[in-house]
Structure formats: structure tokens, C-alpha cells
């Protein structure tokens, strides 16, 4: 895509995201960079995948009921770290000399599946269970899964794959998103359940997933790797999705 058109479109969408409070100012800046490069490199199909992830995921996150337990998740408004965690792998994939579109679609399918699963879990009547141990965990916990959330993950992957497939006129992009997205969300949950750092704020006697509690006190690490936060887990899962998309392009792709 023409660079000035790509910049104009992504700046307009990011400005709307900031206006509707789904992006922080720094998040909007990061979104313009990521979106412009993806649009230049992969054209309308890549931009359609990115747009459907951003619009669908943001709308759903705003509509989803609050889990009620604040474990330190940042909420529906994305900052620059979250934009990079969700879109950084797609950004890198778009720069590959071949298979950029497949890499972008697969990586965004993972990001969408995870976002939709998290939001959809809010409607679940059953409490989430830790994907590795099977134990019931508080809503909003990393690594917790629900059936409602998992079905929602499939719909999230479908929106990204469907938008790209429609824009490119290639049905295989829809299949790619469906095959890579939901398993990528499960990988994200496994990383979150197995290795993500968990903390406890002694001042408030509350569990949290952030090293600094919202009260301002430093929380004590109790489990997992203290340096491995939710953004890094998301980045790892979307990177695996991106590589899976590139491999699929190498083996089956003709785009």
C-alpha cells in the first residue's frame, strides 16, 4: 500500500481509539507505527486483519462484564506495551521477505483469540479453571480458562481470518486463522498458568499479577518467574503464531 495512505488510515483509526479511550496516547503512537508498517507491507488484507482485531477486540473488551476481582490487569485501554505485545509479532512478520501476510494473519489470530477469550470469560457462569492444574481460580487470572471464553476465542480468530480472507479473496487465510488462533490462545494460557509471575501485596493482603500493587506498595513474588508478565506472555504466544503462519506459507502458500 502507498505509505501516505497507510499512514493516513492508521492515524485516523488510532485517533478514534484514543478518542474512545481504548488506547492511551502512547498506545495510539505505537499503533500508528505498527499499523502503518503492516499496511505498507501487506496491503488491504493485512490492514483488514489488523482493523478487525483492533475494532472487534476493543469493542468486546468494553462490553464485557468486569471480572470483579482486580488482579492488576490494565483494563480495556491499551498502553504502548500492550500494543507491542499484541501487534509486535505481526509487525515483525510483515517485514519478512516472503509470507508476510500469512505471518500477520496468524499472529493477529492468536492476539484476537486471546483478547476474545478473556472478554468472553466474563460472561461465563462457570468459574475459570487453571489450564494446567484444573483448579478453580479467580476470574481475570492469567492461565484461567472457561468454555465460554474458549468458544469466543474461535469467533475472535474467525473475525481476523474472515476479514483478511475477504480482502485478499483467499479462503485459506480464514483456515489459517482458525487453525493457529485458538491453539495460540491455549499456549498463552499455559505460559500464563505455568510461568507467569504471581505476587502478593502484604500491605493490602491481596494477590496481584503485577510487581507493584495499585496501592503503590511493592508486591512480594510468590510463584512463577517474577520478570515474566502478561505482556511478555502475550508477545511470546503471538510470536509463535507468527512463525506458525510463516511455516504454513512455506509449505502451503501461494501468496
CB of 138 to Zn ion, least distance (A): 16
Site for Zn ion, residues 205 to 224, rule: CB under 5 A: 213, 215, 217
Among 7, 193, 201, 242, binds Zn ion (CB under 5 A): 201
Query: Count residues contacting Zn ion (CB under 5 A)?
Result: 6
CB of 214 to Zn ion, least distance (A): 7
CB of 213 to Zn ion, least distance (A): 3
* Contact call for residue 8 and Zn ion (CB under 5 A): no
Q: How many CB atoms lie within 10 A of CB 200?
A: 15
Residue 95's Cβ-count burial label (10 Å; 0-12, 13-18, 19+) is exposed
Listed in sequence order, the residues at least 6 apart from 39 whose beta carbon sits closer than 8 Å to its beta carbon are 1, 5, 6, 9, 10, 46, 47, 50
Nearer to Zn ion, 119 or 201 (CB): 201
Nearer to Zn ion, 135 or 214 (CB): 214
At 249, is the secondary structure helix, strand, or coil? helix
Q: How far is the CA of 185 from the CAs of 103, 123, 204, 237, in angstroms?
A: 16, 18, 32, 7
Nearer to Zn ion, 47 or 71 (CB): 71
88-89-91 Cα angle (round to 5): 65
Helix pair 25-63, 100-121: axis angle to 10 deg: 50
Nearer to Zn ion, 26 or 215 (CB): 215
CB of 127 to Zn ion, least distance (A): 24
CB of 201 to Zn ion, least distance (A): 3
Among 8, 26, 204, 223, binds Zn ion (CB under 5 A): 204
Q: Which stretch binds Zn ion (CB under 5 A): 15-23, 159-167, 185-193, 198-206?
A: 198-206
Nearer to Zn ion, 194 or 211 (CB): 211
CB of 202 to Zn ion, least distance (A): 8
Q: How far is the CA of 251 from the CAs of 36, 169, 247, in angstroms?
A: 28, 20, 6
Under 8 Å between Cβ of 137 and 129: yes
Nearer to Zn ion, 15 or 70 (CB): 70
Among 5, 95, 203, 225, binds Zn ion (CB under 5 A): 203
Q: How far is the CA of 183 from the CAs of 3, 20, 98, 216, 240, in angstroms?
A: 34, 31, 24, 36, 10
At 180, is the secondary structure helix, strand, or coil? helix
Nearer to Zn ion, 129 or 213 (CB): 213
- Interacting residue ranges for Zn ion, rule: CB under 5 A: 201, 203-204, 213, 215, 217
Amino acid at each position: 500500500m502507498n505509505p501516505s495512505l497507510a499512514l493516513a488510515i492508521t492515524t485516523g483509526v488510532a485517533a478514534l481509539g484514543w478518542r474512545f479511550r481504548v488506547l492511551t496516547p502512547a498506545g495510539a503512537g505505537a499503533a500508528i507505527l505498527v499499523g502503518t508498517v503492516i499496511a505498507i507491507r501487506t496491503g488491504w488484507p493485512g490492514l483488514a486483519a489488523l482493523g478487525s482485531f483492533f475494532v472487534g477486540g476493543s469493542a468486546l473488551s468494553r462490553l464485557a462484564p468486569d471480572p470483579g476481582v482486580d488482579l492488576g490487569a490494565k483494563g480495556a485501554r491499551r498502553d504502548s506495551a500492550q500494543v507491542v505485545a499484541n501487534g509486535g509479532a505481526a509487525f515483525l512478520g510483515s517485514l519478512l521477505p516472503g509470507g508476510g501476510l500469512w505471518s500477520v494473519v496468524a499472529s493477529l489470530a492468536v492476539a484476537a483469540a486471546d483478547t476474545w477469550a478473556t472478554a468472553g470469560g466474563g460472561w461465563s457462569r462457570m468459574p475459570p479453571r487453571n489450564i494446567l492444574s484444573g483448579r478453580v481460580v479467580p476470574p481475570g487470572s492469567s492461565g484461567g480458562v472457561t468454555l465460554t471464553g474458549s468458544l469466543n476465542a474461535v469467533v475472535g480468530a474467525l473475525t481476523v481470518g474472515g476479514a483478511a480472507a475477504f480482502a485478499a479473496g483467499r479462503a485459506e487465510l480464514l483456515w489459517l486463522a482458525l487453525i493457529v488462533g485458538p491453539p495460540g490462545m491455549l499456549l498463552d494460557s499455559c505460559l500464563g498458568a505455568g510461568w507467569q509471575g504471581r505476587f502478593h501485596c502484604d500491605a493490602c493482603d491481596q494477590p496481584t499479577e503485577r510487581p507493584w500493587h495499585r496501592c503503590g506498595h511493592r508486591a512480594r513474588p510468590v510463584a512463577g518467574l517474577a520478570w515474566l508478565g502478561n505482556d511478555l506472555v502475550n508477545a511470546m504466544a503471538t510470536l509463535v503464531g507468527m512463525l506458525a503462519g510463516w511455516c504454513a506459507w512455506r509449505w502451503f502458500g501461494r501468496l
